[in-house]
Amino acid sequence: MPEGDYRPINRPAAPAPQGVFDFHYEGDILGALPALKRVAPQINVMPTLGKPSPLPVRVNLRGATLEDALRALGEQGGDVADVVLNTTRHQGGNHVFVRFRAPIETTTPGTN
């Protein structure tokens, strides 16, 4: 008998685990969450908080969970932006949004 993988033809291949998906995105962080919603429809994308500034991100994930995708985006936010997930059920759950951090103003001593 030839070598290789065999499976009965009358049984379908095992489906991917639920909640696991591939996510590929390159562009501004503000477009990342709407793109993520296309592969993870359980999220509710909320308005951005803070003053937006351009922030390019690139994500190429295979077999990822929602948390993996959000963490990958958040890590690229650095000191500029956070990606926030709110799972509070009484508010509908799974709200995601980008929160831009206020820039830290520096003052020089004696210039007040």
Give me the mean pLDDT over the 34-52 stretch. 95
Q: Can you list the domains of the chain with their CATH numbers?
A: 21-100 (3.55.50.60)
- Cα maximum dimension of the chain: 87
Across the range 81-109, mean pLDDT stands at 83
Mean pLDDT, rounded, for 75-100: 89
